[in-house]
Each structure stands twice: as structure tokens, then as C-alpha cells.
Structure 1
Amino acid sequence: MPAITAVLGDITTQQVDAIVNAANTAMRGGGGVDGAIHRAGGPAVLRDCIVRFPNGLATGDAGWTTAGEMPATWVIHTVGPNFATGERDRSLLVSCYRRALEVADELGAHSIAFPLVSAGVYGWPRADAIAAAVETLATTPTRVEDVRIVAFSPEMHAEVQHALDARAAR
């Protein structure tokens, strides 16, 4: 089981093998985490998305590209369900974390940083988004040793840390 930590900061600056992008199905960049990753990684990330995902990526699936100019080696893109538009199947959200770890294992990554998938503009209720992330990352078999959940705000960081502490206390 990997060590899971809550990190307050910018996912694009994490010194890890792979960062996870909360992408959209088109795989051509967007807002929020997706936009930040594409801006920080530079044009190489979009070029790789176009080549590797000419038809996009399905909700709940994951795939990888270069990280471009970011310190990570890879970006693992995963498409979370859009709660705000009625995609409310929690198994799709869980699949995002599971599939990202599977891709990390395929790449040989030992460290990975995740955002809270679907918890931003896609509107997944934050407490459940955190619970899905913590549960799935703690119970999915993987060779990844260092898993980070990166929160951009102090409030979200505190909530993630609380969930990790509660899981450790069990």
C-alpha cells in the first residue's frame, strides 16, 4: 500500500514521476486543473494528446502523455464524471483513481500527484469526492509508493488531511 499524503500547493510543480490531470473527454485542454496543466506543460502536452487520443477519452478512463515543461515525467489524464450535468455514477469517479494507478504501474511510476477529480467545475460534492479519492487510493493494488492528493486551497487541504487521518485511525 502506498503512503498517501495531503499536499497544499500547485499540482504542476510537484516533484513526482506523474501528475494526474482532471481532463475532459475531448482531451484538448480546458479550464481548472486541465488548463493549468496544459499551460505549465506547454504545447508538447496538447500535441501528445492529439496524437495519443485522436477521439478523446471516455469518462472514468485514463491515459498518459508527456509532462512537457513540468518537473514530472508524465501526465496521466483521467476524465471524471460531470456531476453538474447529471453524470452521478460514483463508480466512474472511483474508476478515475483506479485507472490512473493502473497507468502509473504500466509506466513504472513510483510517485504520483492527484487533484480531486470532478470536485471543481464538474461539481461533485467535495466530501464525497474526497472520500472516493482516499478510499480508492488506499485500497487499489499498485506498485506506486508515494501518492499525493494536492489541494489548491487551505480549506480543501484540511478536509483531505482530516479524511486521511480518519482512515489511519481505523
Structure 2
Amino acid sequence: MKIEVWQGDITTLAVDAIVNAANESLLGGGGVDGAIHRAAGPQLLAECAALPEIRPGMRCPTGEVRATAGYNLPAKHVLHTVGPVWQDGLRDEPALLANCYWKSLQLAEKLGLTSIAFPAISCGVFGYPLHQAAHIAATETLTWQRSHREPQRIILVAYNAATFKVYQQALAALGQPVEVAGPLPPMAAGMELPAAAP
């Protein structure tokens, strides 16, 4: 098994779960978070709003994950994870970002899911440097796949060509040539990609 990389719109993927780079409220936002909520429809927001708050406005702490149904998405489930906001890399950001990937994979395994797709968590408005985030994504997913049987298929979704190249480099640096994911549904003609994940 290899980690796969695919460039395109994560909301079009017919996999068991896509991961949403959410904020702590889980009530939608910009970038890939907003795109997933728009594609899934209002039932997703309703399910998220019904999740218990840990404190006012927080349903999921940074580095944790919560699961919902996929509703109008081709994906059966959405795993919502909250990535760290980049400050200087010295405030547990790497460990928290690693948790986003690892705990999403743990939950996918617990739910019996065989395929999962990740966006570039924290690389949008949260400001995480792409090369460093890609290294963490590659390291965590490869480490998981070497010691677990499920999910069998792990896809890193690049929202543009530059991100795709950085994923290639991160995987190659860890001794794995990139495998382009397929077959996956192509983007509809003229469809705009969502912005980077928060």
C-alpha cells in the first residue's frame, strides 16, 4: 500500500470519509470547510450544531476530531479536525497537526472505514508553512499505514499544482515515490477549487 496524492476538489471524492479542516465551533467557515458544508447541505451544519460543546463555541479542540455523516457529499462520512494556527512552530503546532492526522486515522479505523482523504490541514488562513505541514502529513500517514490495516486507502488531496509538488517531495524524502490516486471522479468543467484548508 502507498499513500496517494490527488489534485482537485475534495468534495467530489467518493471515499468512505473526507477530512474537514474545521474550526473549533464546527459550524463552517472559509476555504475547504465552507466548501464541504456547501456541498454536504444544511443537514451537516445541523448535525455539527447538535454536537456537545466543551465550552461555549467549542465543539472540537485543536488536534481532536469529530465524525458526522456526509449527507449530499459522495463521501459517506466527514471527519472534522481542528488544526493549529501557526505562530512560530514552538507552541506545540507540529504535535497538534500530527494529532489531526493520527486521530482522524484512529477514528476511521474505529468506524471500519477503508478509504480516507485529507486536505492540507492548517495551510490556509491558519498559516502553517506548506512544506512543514506536508512533511507532517506524509510522516503520520506513512507511519500509520505501516502498522495498521485500515483504512487501506489514504489520499492526500492537493488543492493546486504547487501543493501536489510539495506532497511529492515530502513523500520522496521519506522514501516513497508519489502514487497518483485513481480512479477518482474528475472535477466538473469550470469548477473552482476551494481555497486552502484553514
Structure 1 pair 86/164, CA: closer, same or farther in 2 (3 Å)?
Answer: closer
Distance 1:12 1:155 in 2: 19
Give 3-state SS (helix, strand or coil) of 2:67's partner: strand
Q: Greater share of helix residues, 1 or 2?
A: 1
Tell me whether 1:75 sits opposite 2:78 in the alignment: yes
Distance 2:135 2:19 in 1: 18
Does structure 1 conserve the Cα–Cα contact (< 8 Å) formed by 2:62 and 2:84?
Answer: yes
Structure-to-structure mapping, 1:106-117, within 5 angstroms: 106-117=110-121
Tell me whether 1:168 sits opposite 2:171 in the alignment: no
- Encode CA deviations 1:94-150: one digit per residue, 9 max, x unaligned: 000000001101111100000011111100011000000000111124311100000
Corresponding letter in the other structure for 2:46: R
Shift of 1:53: 3.9
Structure 1 pair 87/32, CA: closer, same or farther in 2 (3 Å)?
Answer: farther
Distance 1:93 1:3 in 2: 21
Shift of 1:15: 1.4
Could you list the runs of 4 or more consecutive aligned residues of structure 1 that deviate by over 6 angstroms after TM superposition? none
Identify the residue that residue 129 of structure 1 maps to in structure 2. Answer: 133
Give 3-state SS (helix, strand or coil) of 1:134's partner: helix
Work out which of the residue numbers 87, 108, 117 in structure 2 matches 1:104: 108
Give 3-state SS (helix, strand or coil) of 2:174's partner: helix
Distance 1:167 1:84 in 2: 26
Identify the residue that residue 41 of structure 1 maps to in structure 2. Answer: 40
Aligned residues: 169
Corresponding letter in the other structure for 1:138: L
Structure 1 pair 35/88, CA: closer, same or farther in 2 (3 Å)?
Answer: farther
Corresponding letter in the other structure for 1:149: L
Identify the residue that residue 93 of structure 1 maps to in structure 2. Answer: 97
User: 54-63 or 106-115, which moves further after superposition?
Assistant: 54-63
Does structure 2 conserve the Cα–Cα contact (< 8 Å) formed by 1:62 and 1:99?
Answer: yes
Instruction: Extract unaligned runs of 5+ from structure 1.
Output: none
- Encode CA deviations 1:4-44: one digit per residue, 9 max, x unaligned: 11100000001110000000011110011110100010111
Does structure 1 conserve the Cα–Cα contact (< 8 Å) formed by 2:17 and 2:79?
Answer: yes
